[in-house]
Amino acid sequence: MTTTQARAAGRRPAQIVDMSWDPITRIIGNLGIYTKIDFANQEVVECHSTSSLFRGYSVFMRGKDPRDAGFITSRICGICGDNHTTCSHYAQQMAYGAKPPPLAEHITNLGEAAEYMFDHTIFQDNLVFVDFCEAMVKATNPTVLARAERTEAPRGHLHGYRTIADIMRAFNPFEGEIYKQALKVSRTTREMFCLMEGRHVHPSTLYPGGVGTMPTPTLFTDYLTRLLRIIDFVKRAVALNDDVFDFFYAALPGYEEVGRRRTLLACWGAFQNPDVVDYRYQTMNTWGKAMHVTPGIIVDGQLVTNNLIDINLGLRILLGSSYYDDWTTEDPFVTHDPLG
């Protein structure tokens, strides 16, 4: 008998309840989740999400000087300013045929790397782990906390905590050791960002074709000393993540199904390789594959393509799920691909 057949044989009469959470404020723009839950069979029958904030940057960028795009688009978000600025400059460099000096590319990459570390720390350690902290689990699922008190942390020799409950206590907001350390790390990574890009979150020294940052030995030494200061925390964080999530999978059978859906992943790549990139559309496949984080489209667990041109041409925007009007009555901005 298959798992599906076994579930069908033991099903109870449905007890469906409408439940909604709106707004969920741990996301910028607020998130609304609308569900129908069958509590008798412990299944989510239906689930929809919505974000009610209309940012509209593509609308009020119209008519502006393209050179201002980086300064304007960095205001989309109060956390991740670099990626919007960097992408707007990548686009302009392609349009102008401009290639920054290699050192400018390295400075941009170092700034973006600092933001990656900042983003991950503030999201994972200060926002996500609130759901797995002692205070939250004690209030919502005390039997799981009791089990955590008895469970040795398999990677304790790496992160320094004896039991899973010790880790969960370290996640407690404003009091836990890991929570407070993460706040310090997020400050340090912001400083690293500012060394390369002027200020956070709105970079002031990135421009199409180059950067305004003065590349002195002291600058890179200051960046490196901060990186070495946080690298121990980063290594410990990996072991902490593995121990906590492995424990929850074991303590709550079926928990690994939370969020499971069809795998549809897209990446446009990050961190240009200055030895290869020339920002020409004709060679975009070549310099895209030379990025230090390569582009790719994954569907149902299979890599479909890592050709940046194919990804660009395959992009579709579903206007039915957005705040934008349909453009069927407008002239297309681009009528055909230059490569045919």
pLDDT at 328: 76
Q: Give the pLDDT score at 306.
A: 96
Above 50 in pLDDT, residue 241?
yes
- Cα separation, 61 vs 51, in Å, equals 21
Evaluate if residue 1 carries a pLDDT over 50.
Answer: no
Average pLDDT over residues 286-311: 96
Residue 29 has pLDDT above 80, yes or no: no
- Does residue 96 or residue 334 have the better pLDDT? 96
165-188 pLDDT, tens digit per residue, is 999 999 999 999 999 999 999 999
Helix ranges restricted to H, 151-261: 156-159, 164-170, 177-197, 217-251
pLDDT digits (tens, 9 = 90+) for 30-52: 789 999 999 999 888 999 888 77
Question: What average pLDDT does this structure show over 48-71?
Answer: 84
> Among 13, 16, 4, 75, which Cα is nearest to 45's?
16
The confidence band for 295, taking pLDDT boundaries of 50, 70 and 90, is very high
Residue 115's pLDDT band, with cuts at 50, 70 and 90, is very high
Task: Specify the pTM.
Answer: 0.85
Query: Per-residue pLDDT for 4 more than 70?
Result: no
- 58, pLDDT greater than 70: yes
Residue pLDDT, tens place only, 67-82: 888 888 888 877 887 8
**Joined tokens for residue 51:** 């974000």
The residue count for the chain: 340
* CB-CB contact of 130 with 168 (8 Å): no
Placement of tokens 């690293």 in the chain: 192
Instruction: Give the model's pLDDT for residue 112.
Output: 95
| DSSP letter for each residue of 88-133 | HHHHHHHHHT----HHHHHHHHHHHHHHHHHHHIIIIITTGGGGGS
Tell me how far apart the alpha carbons of residues 83 and 53 are, in angstroms, rounded to a whole number: 20
Query: Each residue of 191-231: pLDDT tens digit?
Result: 999 999 999 888 999 999 999 999 999 999 999 999 999 99
Q: Categorize the per-residue pLDDT at 56 as very low, low, confident or very high, splitting at 50, 70 and 90.
A: confident
Domains of the chain: 3-51 (no CATH), 57-260 (1.10.645.10), 261-340 (no CATH)
Phi, psi torsion values for 299, nearest 5 degrees: -125, 125
